């Protein structure tokens, strides 16, 4: 999508408004956008993972079905570069995928010699895995460690709490936040695996734990039907964990229907929070503005309960999965065709304008003189090389993201 030539008012919108498209290959249970926002990974109930290209209207780029999970996928995490995917499943395992190995040509001799499976690592656990996340920076080195951490946490099951959700702190990944079945928030240092801080957030189990990508806000979704929005302490400058304060900023709840929330997500700067609601009768997504805590938008359009919800920052799109059909719903900002774009001298005006003939409007000008004047005006220097570093929404566009290879000879889905 080119933003610089679009209606600036549409570009400036901060949250999606209308259901733009649906994707339906297989029964999707969990979704995740890559960091650049051009691919969408969808975990299916049969354990495989589909990857869609969002630029081509949701064309399927890859299907990770070989060596895949045998039970439904529970979480997907992309590496920052976009080449690796970490998935977790109810089949008690986590798998690491290398997308450079998908869709390889079968007659490519070089690839046949090495292991050609895109699944490059798998770790077995002694219980179903609810979530696995990649370390934000050091994904390759920390991979297994991270999964073992997950393992450690699972072992605590024997004790009285059951850890349900985990997440890394964004940017540096130096801490791991976990939520337990008794409503406690535990913070562990990533390198030493030491528990450094523990605080009770709610009286019932924590279902989701989401830290905004700028690290400012934390959303705790627990089964007491309340989403608690917490201001994050300065984890980098305040080194003593005992001084951290987790102050609840807002509590979001549906007072009338007493709905539970299935899943929550922040936008890029944590100014907005979106949540999907539990129950057969509710089919909508709720968006709140986080500074005042007011509900500003209800996203409609699905005919079923929505489970997972994710925010695609750079494309200003919200994706969600349907419980019954397994469809993926995508809401985004609509752009309309401007008819004034169809000819260089068309202008869109609000009111009629009185035509005023200019003094020289129909003068016959000597063409040669005009051409000469034009050529003389062309003496300034042009920079044809330097690219823009941010797009019209202010996102960094300099970072290169991995491009998933394509098998041109075979159709993926028959």
Partner 1 sequence: MPSEANDSSNGIHISKKIDDLYTVKYTLQNQHKASINSIKISPDGSKFATCSSDATIHVYDLKTGSRIAELAGHTKGISDIVFSPINSNILASCSDDLTIRLWSIRQRKCIKILKKHTYHITTIRFSSKGNILISGSADETITIWDITSGRTLKTLAAHADPVSSICLTPDNSIIISASYDGLMRLFDLETGHCLKTLSFNSTSHGTATASTNDVLNFPISNVESSPNGKYILSSSLDGLIRLWDYMDNKVIKTYSGLDGKPISEKYNCGAKFITKTANPMIVSGTESSGIVIWDVQSKDVKYQLHQSDEPVFQVDTFDEGNYIVSCSRDGYINLLELNPSYVKSSREGSSREFTPITPN
The reply to whether 23 sits near partner 1 by the rule CB under 8 A is: no
Whole-number Å distance between alpha carbons of 39 and 59: 10
Query: Measured from the CB atom, is 59 or 127 closer to partner 1?
Result: 59
Q: What residues numbered 2-21 form the site for partner 1, per CB under 8 A?
A: 2-6
Burial 383-396 (b: 16+ CB within 10 A, else e): eeeeeeeeeebebe
* Three-state SS at 341: helix
The piece of 83-91, 217-225, 273-281, 404-412 that touches partner 1 (CB under 8 A) is: 404-412
User: x/- contact string, 215-234, with partner 1 (CB under 8 A)?
Assistant: --------------------
The reply to whether 347 sits near partner 1 by the rule CB under 8 A is: no
Q: Tokens 């995917």, residue?
A: 85
DSSP state letter for 141: H
Choose among 60, 61, 50: nearest CA to 27. Answer: 50
Q: Tokens 């609000």, residue?
A: 350
The piece of 119-127, 148-156, 178-186, 360-368 that touches partner 1 (CB under 8 A) is: 360-368
Distances (CA, A) of 23 to 47, 54, 285, 320, 365: 18, 10, 17, 10, 58
Choose among 213, 142, 218, 212: nearest CA to 179. Answer: 218
The reply to whether 367 sits near partner 1 by the rule CB under 8 A is: yes
Query: Measured from the CB atom, is 10 or 162 closer to partner 1?
Result: 10
Q: What residues numbered 78-107 form the site for partner 1, per CB under 8 A?
A: 105, 107
Min separation Cβ 85 and partner 1, Å: 17
The reply to whether 41 sits near partner 1 by the rule CB under 8 A is: no
The reply to whether 247 sits near partner 1 by the rule CB under 8 A is: no
Longest dimension (CA), the chain: 93
Residues that bind partner 1 (CB under 8 A): 1-6, 38, 53, 55-57, 59-61, 105, 107, 335-338, 341-346, 361-362, 365, 367-368, 370-372, 374-375, 378, 380-388, 397, 403-406, 408-409, 411-413
């Amino acid at each position: 999508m080119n933003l610089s030539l679009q209606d600036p008012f549409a570009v400036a919108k901060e949250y999606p408004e209308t259901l733009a498209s649906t994707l339906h290959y297989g029964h999707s249970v969990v979704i995740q956008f890559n960091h650049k926002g051009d691919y969408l990974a969808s975990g299916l109930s049969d354990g495989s993972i589909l990857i869609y290209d969002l630029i081509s209207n949701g064309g399927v780029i890859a299907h990770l079905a070989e060596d895949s999970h045998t039970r439904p996928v529970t979480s997907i995490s992309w590496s920052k570069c976009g080449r690796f995917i970490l998935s977790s499943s109810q089949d008690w395992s986590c798998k690491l995928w290398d997308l450079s190995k998908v869709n390889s040509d079968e007659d490519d001799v070089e690839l046949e010699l090495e292991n050609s499976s895109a699944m490059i690592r798998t770790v077995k656990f002694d219980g179903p895995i609810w979530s696995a996340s990649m370390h934000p920076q050091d994904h390759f080195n920390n991979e297994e460690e991270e999964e073992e951490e997950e393992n450690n946490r699972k072992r605590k099951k024997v004790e009285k709490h059951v850890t349900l959700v985990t997440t890394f702190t964004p940017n540096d990944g130096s801490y791991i936040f976990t939520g337990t079945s008794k409503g406690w928030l535990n913070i562990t240092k990533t390198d030493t695996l030491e528990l450094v801080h523990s605080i009770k957030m709610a009286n019932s189990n924590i279902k989701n734990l989401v830290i905004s990508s700028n690290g400012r806000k934390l959303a705790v979704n627990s089964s007491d039907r309340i989403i608690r929005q917490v201001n994050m302490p300065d984890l980098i400058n305040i080194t003593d964990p005992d001084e951290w304060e987790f102050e609840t900023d807002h509590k979001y709840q549906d007072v009338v229907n007493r709905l539970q929330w299935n899943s929550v997500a922040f936008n890029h700067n944590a100014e907005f929070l979106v949540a999907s609601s539990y129950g057969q009768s509710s089919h909508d997504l709720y968006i709140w503005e986080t500074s005042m805590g007011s509900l500003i938008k209800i996203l409609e359009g699905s005919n079923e309960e929505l489970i997972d919800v994710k925010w695609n920052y750079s494309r200003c799109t919200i994706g969600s999965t349907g419980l019954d059909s397994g469809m993926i719903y995508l809401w985004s900002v609509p752009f309309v065709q401007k008819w004034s774009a169809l000819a260089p001298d068309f202008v869109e005006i609000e009111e009629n304008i009185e035509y005023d003939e200019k003094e020289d409007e129909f003068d016959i000008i000597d063409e040669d003189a005009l051409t000469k004047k034009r050529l003389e005006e062309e003496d300034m220097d042009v920079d044809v090389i330097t690219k823009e570093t941010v797009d019209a929404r202010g996102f960094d566009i300099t970072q290169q993201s991995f491009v998933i290879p394509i098998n041109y000879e075979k159709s993926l889905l028959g």
